[in-house]
């Protein structure tokens, strides 16, 4: 998702660092599910969006941000 799908998003400039929930979890919205290479574009009838929630064991947003940075999440 990080290296292949997200860069395929239109006008992708990095993940919003303000999308943490205050308890160390991160949520991002995807407007078009066709960014995933597993999706066969010819077989879909409608482009759909989705929300992805990443739940961590971090105690706060700062710890979670550092954790996700270690996994190479591309924050702005």
Per-residue pLDDT of the chain (76 residues; tens, 9 = 90+): 777 777 777 778 889 999 999 999 999 988 888 778 888 888 888 888 889 999 999 999 999 999 999 999 999 8
Domain with 33, as residue range(s), is 6-70
Q: Does residue 34 lie within any of the structural domains?
A: yes
Q: Does residue 15 lie within any of the structural domains?
A: yes
Q: Does residue 31 lie within any of the structural domains?
A: yes
User: Terminus-to-terminus CA distance in the chain, angstroms?
Assistant: 17
Q: Does residue 41 lie within any of the structural domains?
A: yes
Q: What are phi and psi of 14, to 5 degrees?
A: 120, 165
DSSP letters for 15-27? B-TT-B-SSS-EE
Q: Does residue 75 lie within any of the structural domains?
A: no
Q: Does residue 43 lie within any of the structural domains?
A: yes
Residues across the chain:
76
**Per-residue DSSP letter, 3:** T
pTM of the model: 0.75
Q: Does residue 40 lie within any of the structural domains?
A: yes
In the chain, how many domains are there?
Answer: 1
**Per-residue DSSP letter, 34:** G
Q: Does residue 63 lie within any of the structural domains?
A: yes
């Amino acid at each position: 998702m990080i290296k292949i799908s997200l860069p395929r998003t239109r006008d992708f400039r990095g993940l919003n660092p303000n999308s943490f929930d205050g308890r160390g979890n991160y949520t991002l919205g995807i407007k078009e599910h066709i960014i995933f290479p597993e999706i066969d574009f010819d077989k879909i009838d409608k482009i759909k969006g989705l929300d992805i929630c990443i739940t961590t064991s971090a105690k706060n947003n700062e710890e979670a941000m550092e954790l996700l940075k270690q996994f190479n999440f591309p924050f702005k």
